Chains A and B, each alone.
Chain A
C-alpha cells in the first residue's frame, strides 16, 4: 500500500523515540466526544473504588486487608490464612483466562479503559498537567522555550502536585496491606517506629512519581508484557481501533465545494488534519494500521468524529471495528478461539467458585500424639490424641468437641468447649482409655461444632492397642 508513513509498521521506529534515541515528549491535544466522556466516568468510578475500598468494613474487618506480615487475608467478610493459599492458583488462572478472553473478543479494552496506568495517567496526572501548563500548543511552546521564571514556577507547581498525588496514591496502596487504622497509627507515631512501612510508602511514592511524571507511555510500549502478548491472542475478528483505508484514501485537504464536484470521485474522506495524530497519547498515526503502540484509548476516534461532523461526512472513519470489518469483510464474534478461551475461563471460574464455597470456616485435625501409639495400664489401654483447631471465621467462635466411641471408653478432654479469636489456633489433648479386649483396635468419632457457622465436622480416628482377647 503506497501511503506516506511517519511511524508504525514499515517506518521502522518507535513513535515516542527520536531516531537518535532521545525521548519525544508527547503532548496529546484536548479532545471532546462520547468515548472521552464515558472514559472520564469510568476513570472516576475506578478511582473512587480504589480510594474508598480501604475504608469499607465487612464482617468486622476491612473489605480488603492483605496482612502479609501476619499472613492474614481479609477479603469481603471472609478470612483466609496461609493454608488457603492454594486458592490463589484458581484466582490467577481465572484472571488470566478472563484477560485472554477479553483480549480475543474486545482487543485492548483493558489498556484503554481500566489499566491503572491509563486511569491515573489520563484521569489524574495529565489533567493536572493540562490545568497548570495549558493546552497542547502552550505545552509544546513551553517545552521548546527557554527556562523563564514563569516556566520554572509552572514546573515546580506541576511536579509538586505530581509528588503530592503520588504520595496520596502510595498511602492508599499501603492501606490495603496495613488497614486504614494501622496506617493512621503509623502516621501519628511518625516514621521512626515503622521504618519498613515508611520505606515502602516512600518507594511507592517515588515509583509512581517517576512513572506518571516522566516514564508514561514507555511503560506500555516497551515494558508491559501484556502489551507484548496481545498479538498472540488477537485475530482478524478482535475488536480494535482502526482507520477505514477504503473510505479515507486518497487523503487530502478539504477543497471548496465547487472544486470538490470535479475532484469528488478520487477524494477520500480523510482531510489529513492530523487531529488523530495529535490526540494520541503514544504518538502514533492510527492511519498506518494496527500498531503495537496503540492502547485503544479511542481519543483518535473522538477527534476524527468531531472533524467528520464539521465537514459533513458520516462518523466512523476511525472507529471500533475488527480488521475484517475495516476491510468490509463479514464480522464474526463467535469463533473457535473465543469458545476455547471462554471454555478455559468457565472451567477456571467454576474451580474458583467451588473452592471458595467449599471452604470451611474452621480447621479441625485429629492427630495422634507423638511418642508411643498406646499405653498399657493394668487391664486398660490408653491412646492420646491432639485435636488441632483453627478458627477461620472473621469473628470469635466457640468450638464444641464431642467424642463418640463404639466401645465403652473413658474419654478425657480437658476442655469440651474452646473459644478462639479469629485465626487463632489451639491444640486440645484427648485421652481415650478402654478395657483391653477383642474389640481393640476400633474406630471412634470426634465431632466438632463451630458455634458461629453452625457447621459440624466429624473426624474419625483409630484406637490402637495389642490385639487379641483380654488377658
Chain B
C-alpha cells in the first residue's frame, strides 16, 4: 500500500499509518503554558537578577550553616544551664534519655547498673561541663559509652541539660556513689 492511497496519510510502515492531525487543544494549551512558564522562570532567575541564582542560594545556606556551627561551638557551664531552662531542649533530652540511657540509669535516673543521677553524689563530677564530658566522651573502662559519636553534639547537649534537671530530685534507687557535690 502506498502512502497516496488514502488522503491525509503521510507514511505507512508495517500497516501503521502516520497522519498529521491537529493535536488536542488542551494538550497544546499545556505545551504552551509550560513554554511560557519556562521563559518566565528563565527570565526571573537568569536574566532579571531578581530571583536568587543557585550559587546565591548555596552561599546563603553555607553562611547559615556556618553561623549555626559558630553559635553551637562553645559548650560551657552557662550554655548548658541556659539549655536546662529551655523546655524544648529538655524535652528532646528526655526523649533521648529514655531511648539510650534509661536502660542503665533507670527511667527516672534512679540508677540500675549505672549510678543514680538524682542524688548529690557524682563519680565523675557534677558540674554541667563534667556531666557533658561524661556523656560525650564516656567512661569506657566502666561501660559508659562515648555518645557524641553516635548521637551528635546537639543531642548530647540536650541529654546533659536533661540530666541537670534530674539533679537533687532524689528518686529512691541505687545507693549514692562518688563524691558529694552541691
Contact at A23–B103, with CB atoms within 8 Å? no
In the complex where A375-B141, A431-B143 touch, is A23 in contact with B26 (Cβ < 8 A)?
Answer: yes
Q: Does B104 contact A (CB under 8 A)?
A: yes
Asked whether any CB of chain B lies closer than 8 Å to the CB of A426, the reply is: yes
Q: Which of A13-21, A114-122, A323-331, A445-453 contacts B (4 or more CB under 8 A)?
A: A13-21
Docked pose: A108 CA to B143 CA in angstroms: 66
Measured in the bound complex, the distance between the Cα atoms of B25 and A23 in whole Å is 7
Find out whether the CB atom of B103 lies under 8 angstroms from the CB atom of A14: no
Once bound together, how far apart are the Cα atoms of A228 and B25, in whole Å?
A: 21
CB closest chain-A residue, reference B141: A375
B50 contacts the other chain (CB 8 A): no
A354 CB within 8 Å of chain B? no
Q: Residue of A at shortest CB range from B27?
A: A222
Complex formed: what's the CA distance from A20 to B21 in Å?
8
Is A22 on the interface with B (CB-CB < 8 A)?
yes
Q: Is the CB of B22 within 8 A of A21?
A: yes
Among the stretches B76-84, B118-126, B145-153, B161-169, the one at the interface with A is B145-153
Are B24 and A426 in contact, CB atoms less than 8 angstroms apart? no
Nearest CB to that of B100 among chain A residues? Answer: A427
In angstroms, how far is the closest chain A Cβ from the Cβ of B21? 5
- In Å, the complex CA distance between A114 and B143 comes to 61
CB of A21 within 8 A of CB of B28, answer yes
Tell yes or no: B112 within 8 A of A by CB: yes
Q: Which residues of A contact B6 (CB under 8 A)?
A: 10, 12
Beta-carbon contact of B103 and A17 below 8 Å: no
Q: Assess the A427–B26 pair: CB atoms within 8 A.
A: no
B99 contacts chain A at the CB level, 8 A cutoff? yes
B19 touches A23 (CB 8 A): no
The residues of A that contact B17 with a CB separation of less than 8 Å are 10, 12
Give the residues from 57 to 71 in chain B that come closer than 8 angstroms, CB to CB, to chain A. Answer: none
Interface size class of B (residues with CB under 8 A): 20 to 34
Does A358 count as interface, using CB distance less than 8 angstroms?
no
Residues of B within 8 A of A425 (CB): 99
Residues of A within 8 A of B104 (CB): 414, 429
Q: Does A372 contact B (CB under 8 A)?
A: yes
The answer to whether B145 and A369 have CB atoms under 8 Å apart is: yes
**How many inter-chain residue pairs (CB < 8 Å) link A and B?**
68
Among B25, B99, B114, B143, contact of A427 (Cβ-Cβ < 8 Å): B99
Q: Which residues of A contact B112 (CB under 8 A)?
A: 414-415
Question: Quick one: which of A19, A369, A372, A426 contacts B99, CB cutoff 8 A?
Answer: A426
User: Would you call A13 and B24 a contact (CB within 8 A)?
Assistant: no
Q: Residues 368-409 of chain A: 1 if any B CB is under 8 Å from the residue's CB, otherwise 0?
A: 011110010100001010000000000000000000000000
Contacts of B22 in A (CB 8 A): 17, 19-21
Interface size range of chain A in the complex:
20 to 34
CB <8 Å contact, A14 and B100: no
Please provide the chain B residues from 1 to 50 with a CB less than 8 Å away from any CB of chain A in the complex: 6, 8-9, 17, 19, 21-28
Q: Mark A214-239, 1 if CB is under 8 A from B, else 0.
A: 01001000100000000000000000
B1, chain A: closest CB distance, angstroms: 11
Evaluate contact between B21 and A19: CB separation under 8 angstroms.
Answer: yes
Shortest distance between the CB of A289 and any CB in chain B (Å): 13
A227 to B27 Cα, complex, angstroms:
18
Q: Which residue of B lies closest to A431 (CB)?
A: B143
Chain B 125-162: CB-based contact to A (< 8 A → 1; otherwise 0): 00000000000001011010110011000000000000
Q: How far is the CA of A421 from the CA of B100 in the complex (A)?
A: 16
Closest partner residue, chain B, to A418 (CB atom): B103
- Interface contact B145-A371, CB-CB below 8 Å: yes
| A412 touching B21, Cβ below 8 Å | no
Residues in A1-35 with C-beta less than 8 Å from chain B: 10, 12-14, 17, 19-23
Q: Which residues of B have CB within 8 Å of A140?
A: none
The answer to whether residues A372 and B140 also contact, given A13-B21, A17-B22 and a CB cut-off of 8 A, is yes
Contact, CB under 8 Å: B24 / A23: yes
Bound: A215/B27 CA distance, A = 11
Judge whether A414 and B103 touch: CB under 8 Å. Answer: yes
- Residues 410-431 of chain A: 1 if any B CB is under 8 Å from the residue's CB, otherwise 0? 0010110000000001111101
Query: Does B56 count as interface, using CB distance less than 8 angstroms?
Result: no
Which residues on the B side are within 8 Å of A13 (C-beta)? 19, 21
A370 and B150 contacting across the interface, CB-CB below 8 Å: yes
Is B113 in contact with A414, judged by CB distance below 8 angstroms? yes
A425 to B9, CA, bound (A): 67
Residue in B26, B28, B138 whose CB lies within 8 Å of A218: B26
Q: When chains A and B are docked, how far (Å) is the Cα of A427 from the Cα of B24?
A: 60
A427: which B residues are within 8 A, CB to CB? Answer: 99-100, 103
For this complex, 23 residue pairs linking A to B, each with C-beta atoms less than 8 Å apart, are: A12-B8, A12-B9, A12-B21, A13-B21, A17-B22, A21-B22, A22-B25, A23-B26, A222-B27, A369-B145, A370-B146, A370-B150, A371-B140, A371-B145, A372-B140, A377-B141, A384-B143, A414-B104, A426-B99, A427-B99, A429-B143, A431-B113, A431-B143
10 more contacts with CB within 8 A, not counting A14-B21, A370-B150, A414-B112, are: A12-B8, A13-B21, A19-B22, A369-B145, A371-B140, A377-B141, A414-B103, A414-B114, A425-B99, A431-B143
Seen from chain B, the residues whose Cβ lies within 8 Å of a Cβ on chain A are 6, 8-9, 17, 19, 21-28, 99-100, 103-104, 112-114, 138, 140-141, 143, 145-146, 149-150
